[in-house]
Structure 1
Amino acid sequence: MATALTLSPLTACGGDASDSGDAKSLTMWTFKQSHVQALKNAAADFEKQTGIKVSVKAYGPDDAYTTKVQASAKTGDLPDVLEVHSDGEDFALGATGITRDIAKDVTADWSGLYQEGVQKSGVVTPARYKESEPSDSKTHGIKEGQRFSVPLTSGTFGIVMGNKKKLAEAGITEPPASYEEFLEDLKATTAKDPKNGGVSLGLKVKATGLTWSLQPLAFGELGKEKYQALWGKDASGNFASANGRKVLDLYARMQPYWMPGTQTLDIDAADQAFAQGKSAWDIGGTFTLAFLQQNGMNPEDVMAFGFPGPEKGAVPKPALAPLALTGLAATSTSKHPENAAKWMKFLAQPKTAARFAKDATEVPSTELGDDAAAAMGATLAAMTKAFAGAPENTYDPTVNDFRPPTYDQDSMAEILADLTPLKKKDAQTAGKDMAKLNDNFWASAEK
């Protein structure tokens, strides 16, 4: 889900809208309207403790936020703190000089507050630095070891949600224990309500089918090594192989159950359809629940679980690794960097993060331990149960080093969409085309 801004390199401008000469005030911008009240509530507590007032403003959607940040960087009226998309946008902003390196500020006692899997989010790792080296990279100019954000929210995708009322009408009261049971549940809800009993997914963004459904399904069926081999150079294990056809056949079994027209819907529209009762199921992520709530759906009316593995697969109960979704970045023009750091660290405190989770209906990046269920509510806590699993049984979407360096998921997803929901190709043909495209990626990488 991480994105990067398309920005030209900028030199940090002097002047700052947050600098009114008052060292006891800060400004923060976010692109998520659902975070505003939660951040304002945290700001009120922060002011009581420190005497520092934080003004929070939202600019959205994402494109409008990008435009606002770009324009303000040029005119010198950036806020002190920005909420950013983690591990993408943060690096792009750092590369242009809009945000500053906070590596020396984030000490072990601070980073240790976060969930283990996201503690290094925002850090320029060797792999991130390598990605930045090409001169046309959006993050060109960052240096290994720098840190341009700390995580605020975390989560994962590949989360299936069901409308409890619709499910109960079809006799379903528990999450499916396997992919086969999930298909049976889909069959039951569509039989009960042929028009509105299917599953929605924002397949206008075709990569959602690949990354949110096919990939966790393939991991569950094949296990880590054979799953990664689908993108390898060896034809005996790629998408055209027996293993490739097997997972594509499994995925194609969802064909009868897609919500009518789901291939024309973007992610938000698919989630809205679910909230409006036009589908019984929705595939998204932990971040979806807040959006459903914004659109009038009670979180307690949602059954949630990780995309299930096949009953006889190599990993029948796959876990889903959490990843940082949004983070906090300090602007280079802030006149109060120490106070900005205090605010960012305050948001990482367990008590603050627990309240933020409840107020925003989001999974915080802070490790909440046994208090997680009480803080987040039953449905969001149920989603986080998908995080629990041994490393070898955990599907981690951030691990991509087994794919060709020039890999493009969007073009791969185009082929997958021709299999389902478009039904233009069968599994064998789709597998051959995906393998051919993957071979081309490897060939171009070796030139």
Structure 2
Amino acid sequence: MRISFSRNVRRAAVAAATALSLTTLSACGGSSGSGSDANSLEMWTFKQSHVAALRTAAAEFEKRTGISVKVEAYTPDDAYTTKVQSAAKTGDLPDVLEVHSDGEDRVFGAAGVVSDLSGDFKGAWADRIQGPVQQSGLVTDQRFKDSRPGTARDHGIEKGARYSVPLTVGTFGIVYANRKTLADAGITEPPADWAGFLAALKATTAKDPKNGGLALGLKVQATGLTWVLQPLAFSQLGQVKYEALFGKDKSADFASPDGIKVLGLYDQLTPYWMPGSQSLTIDQADQAFAQGKAAFDIGGTFTLAFLQQNGMSPDDVFTFGLPSPKDGAVPDRALGPLALTGLSVAATSKQPENARKWMEFLSEGKIAARFAKDASDVPATELGAESSAVLGPALAAMVDSFKGTPENTYDPSRGNEFRAPGYEQDDAGEILADLTPLKQQSVEETARQLRQLNSSYWAAARQ
């Protein structure tokens, strides 16, 4: 799953439209695709990188309980959505579905595809899950309020219901560095701050001008904004001033001295983008990095599994959160985790109790740690102080990037109340691309255009 924040929203919207077409589900009878007897379950996932890890866990689950779990993947995501749609209409859903968290799960819940888990996810099971994502899958008061309009894609969800439980978490703004390329340039450890990051980029590009730069799929317009500029701005300014960049006050927006400072920091990356960054998708940028065409790659926690699928071992890379300016307001910034995928029980499952047992089993510490290592992904389970020894350095470093306080954590899932209604990240990302890597606009002109864009959103909101 190679997604930017805005693409994740769009993907949920596609799934939403699909799920809302499944209103005939309740008339379809039982699920013939679920486990055929009391000792077998079926699970579907859209993540090929999870299959082997889930099957290993399933073998252990069968040893303990006598219940087998058949795991199948349907990829890419659009094919998975189509598969679920078809199966829901014919009554052939599996017992358990892996879903995109906080979007697709609620839409499937509204359509009657998945069942309510609110009475089950509690006690030891809930306590094992990382605190910041424990509410993922839950229909909070605000989420219910947002679903009330008839045009809402998850219209019909019930307040207090839970349509998924977290399986994996992650965040954006994770930097990957090729250990060998850095070593060739005399660098033996990850940079500690923004200045060190720029110095490392300067060293690797000096050593190898063609392949020593920075990869990021900037064809997806929001990536530069959401994966780099925003966490960088939070580090430099602190939360209050960072949020003010998107507010109505022109003395504090992107064209203010604070905004100019942040855009200037972002522009410092301009000499180091790998050739053609502006035309690369996220997958293509990650593939280029795995092929040795860049020394650094910016992505998310989910990028590691993709790099591994493309022949790069976790031992080949340093991983670390996007470095912060040493003299910024939050030099020790952490990155808040998002729930990325969850598990849901199909409403037509003939074995909902066994399905829930399987889901709870996956949250156990040792099982989650093994899953994480096998899948090269970050589990929702809190693994504790032993995570470094269990996960290995690459995964452990990403987990460490989550460790912070409410004051020093950049949380990409934070509500958009500080932005104007209708704010679209891709519009701002398009403006940023003209600054870097395209070098078609100055910092000052970029700031002016961002102010103009921001003002237009607020003006439209008043109409």
Q: TM-score, normalised by structure 1?
A: 0.97
- Residues 111-131 of structure 1: CA deviation (Å, up to 9, x unaligned): 111011111111112232233
Cα deviation for residue 350 of structure 1 reads 0.8
Q: Write out aligned runs for 1:15-34 (5 A).
A: 15-19=30-34, 21-34=36-49
User: What is the CA distance between 1:167 and its match in structure 2?
Assistant: 0.4
CA distance in structure 1 between the aligned counterparts of 2:282 and 2:30, rounded to whole angstroms: 38
Q: 1:21 to 1:276 in 2, by over 3 A?
A: closer
Structure-2 residue corresponding to 1:73: 88
Contact 1:275 1:295 in 2 (8 A): yes
Identity %: 62
Could you tell me how far 1:50 is from its partner in structure 2?
1.1
CA distance in 2 between counterparts of 1:21 and 1:53 reads 11
Report whether the alignment pairs 1:120 with 2:135: yes
C-alpha distance in structure 2 between counterparts of 1:31 and 1:335, whole Å: 22
What is the match of residue 154 of structure 2? 139
Instruction: Give TM-score, length-normalised by structure 2.
Output: 0.94
Alignment of 1:96-175 (within 5 A): 96-175=111-190
1:350 and 2:365 correspond: yes
Q: Match of 1:185?
A: 200
Give secondary structure in 2 for the equivalent of 1:68: helix
Counterpart in 2 of 1:407? Answer: 423
Q: How many residues align?
A: 447
**Contact 1:200-1:271 within 8 A present in 2 as well:** yes
- Is 1:319–1:389's contact at 8 Å kept on the other side of the alignment? yes
Structure 1 residues without counterparts, runs of 5 or longer: none
1:325 match: secondary structure: strand
Q: CA deviation at 1:19?
A: 4.0
CA distance in 2, matches of 1:318, 1:52: 44
Q: Select 1:203's aligned residue among 200, 214, 218.
A: 218
Contact 1:27/1:55 (<8 A) preserved:
yes
Which segment is superposed worse, 221-230 or 99-108?
99-108
Separation (CA, whole Å) in 1 of partners of 2:100 and 2:35: 28
Tell me, in whole angstroms, the C-alpha distance in 2 between the residues paired with 1:234 and 1:426: 22
Q: Tell me the secondary structure at the aligned position of residue 387 of structure 1.
A: coil
Alpha-carbon separation, structure 1, partners of 2:57 and 2:161:
28
Residue in 2 aligned with 1:392? 407
Write the mapping of 1:253-268 to structure 2, written as runs, cut at 5 A.
Answer: 253-268=268-283
Does residue 445 (structure 1) correspond to residue 461 (structure 2)? The answer is yes
TM superposition shift of 1:368: 0.8
Unaligned residue ranges in structure 2 (runs of 5+): none
Partner of 2:398: 383
Residue 235 of structure 1 is aligned with which of 250, 253, 256?
A: 250
Which of 286, 289, 310 is the equivalent residue of 1:271?
Answer: 286
> Could you tell me how far 1:42 is from its partner in structure 2?
0.6
Q: CA deviation at 1:184?
A: 1.1
Match of 2:300 in 1: 285
Per-residue CA deviation, residues 131-187 of structure 1 (Å, 9 max, x unaligned), is: 323322222222321111101111211011100000011111121121111111111
- State whether residues 335 and 410 of structure 2, in contact with CA within 8 Å, keep that contact through their aligned partners in structure 1: yes
Alignment of 1:271-350 (within 5 A): 271-350=286-365
Deviation at 1:56, TM superposition (A): 0.3
* In 2: Cα distance, 1:191 partner to 1:19 partner: 58
The equivalent of 2:383 in structure 1 is 368
Q: 1:18–1:26: 8 Å Cα contact kept in structure 2?
A: no
Q: CA offset at residue 21 of structure 1?
A: 4.3
Q: Per the alignment, in what secondary structure is the counterpart of residue 212 of structure 2?
A: coil
CA RMSD of superposed structures (Å)? 1.3
Q: Secondary structure at the match of 1:248?
A: helix
The 3-state SS of whatever aligns with 1:391 is: coil
